[in-house]
Amino acid sequence: MKYISYKIVAILAITALSGCSDASLDKLPQDQISSSTFWTNETEARLALTACYKYIDLSISLYYDTAYDDAASDNAYAQYPWEGPATDLGAGNINASLERGYKVRYTAIRQFNYFLDNVGKTPMNEDLKKRFIAEAKVLRAMTYFELARNFGAVPLLKNLYSDPIETAVIPTPEADVIAFVLSELTSVADQLPVNYAGGKNNETGRITTGAAWAIKARVELQYGKYSEAAASAKHVMGMGYNLFRVSALSAKDVESDYSNFLTFANVAEKEKFYKGMASYEQQFWANNENNSEVVLAVQKITNSSYEFGNSLNTLFLPNDTGGWSSITPTVELVNAYWDKNGNPFTPPTAAQRASNYNNGAPNAAYYDEFKNRDTRLYASILFPSNPWDNFDSGYVFQWGKGGNNNSKTGYNFRKVVDPASLSNTWDGAQDIQLIRYAEILLTYAEAKNEASGPDATIYAALNDIRDRAGMPAVDPIVYGTKVKLRELIRNERRIELAGEGQRFHDIRRWNIASSVMKTIYDITNGKAQERTWEDKFIKMPYPQSAIDHNPNLKDAQAAKGY
């Protein structure tokens, strides 16, 4: 069951705040909130705060879900430009005509500031009021973090302005915005509960102390504050989160036949593979939502109105399963999955791959490319001849090249898709996980390695992730230096978090975008998308509409090279 229904509460809040009497209509338009007649009790304050949660997914990413950020990186391709800017972002068609969430995030900040400016006068329990304020401050900090890492210098509005557009505000330097973000998170993180009980007050899905510390760690990692990021992540690691693992395999879990791709030395090794695959894949399913790995998630439900569910199944799946193939993995992502022994994978040449695929009639050499690879490849990617019996008994993915709503790269995602939601592909019930414990472990490993080099705690964090997937432990001899361990950590982060929106910013903070944002090809070596890169793409341009409203953005835009 889900507990926060953001849109419903937002409507209720506006209705309650605007009032229904003739007198109130004389004073205020019906779509505005009256500060003089609202804020009279805890219920009204709770309504206003819950309305703020409408923006929680927009605070992290936009355009249905975080997967579109991956589609603007070397991990994936978005084939439909009308669904959002990811197609143009990936291609390098980046200019002020693109809207990467600038306006809607300031709409969110206005909502947060309105709440923070008014909740103090509400007669209610002071401890609960302090918690409400902490939640709103974390939501605002998340939003400013996304604005800063996307756009650089941005107007920093700490209080409500009378003009919704906030014209004539000079942008604050990026470093100062981030200093404010970290200060806010530090000041309120420990004022939040470890968890919520749910129930009549719609608590599940709200910001916890773990979520606040996790966001802080993400900010610190993004800006190279490695010692601080390691400490914040370590703090979260002591809060009782655990990686999701299935305790036992069902008959359905072992139905898919991988004998073409995997060799097992014994029964125990086979069980380890299937358990690893089920554990990794099923953590995202609706039946397992709010499990011990989830640090922060957008709550979703199926209600047949396309308002409160997610669109993951439609965006990821191919036409023969009811999907649109909106976001599809690249060959480069498929190559990033190492072998089952933990060694880097050496892919065939593009020409050899095309020859092996043999126009849809794969030869024996084709299967070699997918033999004995990382378990997460089989759980994340639909590649031609990959079985998927959890979707439908006997189903084997075959690429319909050129067909309507089929992949342009030759692959589709199966990760985060819940087979139970396939009857309504545009209204899935599974939550969208914004932060999970695996990211915390990866943040700790990367930050600790960058701060002080390899140690046993880093290997332990990485091995927890790898063991869950049925993969071997990291070899501390092979990966005994900071440089070698960095190579492994970055690849581990790429495949563990594939499709979750992290790669767009990772390639920028690692300063590798210029070497990886290359033209992408399908498995027949046909061009899927021409891509170009310029260094100014590290930061996004302000949308022209924002500059038109605020001329103070012009100089900052020029300083970014746009």
pLDDT value at residue 204 = 82
Taking the C-alpha atoms of residue 396 and residue 553, their distance in angstroms, rounded to an integer, is: 52
Question: Would you state the pLDDT for residue 133?
Answer: 98
280 closest CA partner among 371, 375, 345, 370: 375
- The answer on pLDDT for 22 being more than 60 is no
Residue 402 has pLDDT above 60, yes or no: yes
- DSSP code per residue over 410-444: S-EE-TT--GGGGGGTTSB-S-EEEEEHHHHHHHH
Please report the sign of the dihedral spanned by the C-alpha atoms of residue 74, residue 79, residue 80, residue 81.
Answer: positive
Mean predicted confidence (pLDDT) in 104-108: 91
Residues 428-441, mean pLDDT to the nearest whole number: 89
Reply yes or no on whether the pLDDT at 392 is more than 50.
yes
Between 431 and 451, the more confident residue is 451
Question: What was the pLDDT predicted at 422?
Answer: 66
Taking only the tens place, the pLDDT of each residue in 162-174 is 665 556 789 999 9
CB atoms near residue 61 (< 10 Å): 21
pLDDT computed for residue 167 by the predictor: 60
Q: pLDDT-derived band of residue 210, with 50, 70 and 90 as boundaries?
A: very high
Asked if residue 428 lies in contact with residue 418, where contact means CB atoms within 8 angstroms, the answer is yes
Domain-by-domain residue ranges, the chain?
252-282+300-430
pLDDT digits over 44-61, tens only? 999 999 999 988 865 444
d(CA 316, CA 325) in angstroms, rounded, equals 5
The whole-number pLDDT of residue 426 equals 58
- Give the range with max mean pLDDT: 30-44, 56-70, 364-378, 415-429: 364-378
**Mean pLDDT of the 398-408 span:** 88
- Report the largest interatomic distance among the alpha carbons of the chain, rounded to a whole angstrom: 79
CA distances to 128, 226, 458 from 229, in Å = 29, 5, 13
Confidence band for 161, pLDDT divided at 50, 70 and 90: confident
Collapsing DSSP states into helix, strand and coil, what is residue 396? strand
Please indicate whether residue 165 or residue 287 has the higher confidence score (pLDDT). 287
Angle between helices 437-452 and 209-222 (to 10 degrees): 40
Residue 519 tokens read as 């033209």
**CA–CA distances in Å: residue 488 to residues 464, 465, 471:** 14, 13, 13
141 neighbors 185 (Cβ within 8 angstroms): yes
Rounded-to-10 torsion of CA 388, 394, 395, 400: 140
pLDDT reported for residue 20: 33
Question: What DSSP line would sit under 319-348, residue for residue?
Answer: GGGT----EEE-HHHHHHS-BTTSPPP-PP
pLDDT tens-digit readout, 122-140: 999 999 999 999 999 999 9
pLDDT band at 303 (very low <50, low <70, confident <90, very high): low
Lowest-pLDDT choice from 22-31, 174-183, 193-202, 309-318 = 22-31
Q: How far apart are CA 221 and CA 301, in angstroms?
A: 32
Task: Give pLDDT tens digits for 475-500.
Answer: 999 999 999 999 999 999 999 999 99
Residue 360: CB partners within 8 Å, gap ≥ 6?
384, 398, 399, 401
Report helix, strand or coil for 78.
strand
Residue predicted with more confidence, 333 or 404 = 333
Beta bridge partners of 529: 520
Q: What is the pTM of this model?
A: 0.92
Are residues 371 and 364 in contact, defined by beta-carbon separation less than 8 angstroms?
no
What is the spatial distance between Cα 206 and Cα 198, in angstroms, rounded to a whole number? Answer: 10
pLDDT band at residue 265 using 50, 70 and 90 as cut-offs:
very high
520 membership: H or E segment, kind and range: strand 520-521
**Average pLDDT across the chain, whole number:** 89
pLDDT bracket for residue 430 (50, 70, 90): confident
Q: Which of 252, 311, 347 is nearest to 430 (CA)?
A: 311
pLDDT attached to residue 164: 53
Answer whether residue 202 shows pLDDT above 80. Answer: no
- Burial letters for 91-103: b for 16+ Cβ neighbours within 10 Å, e otherwise? beebebebbbbbe
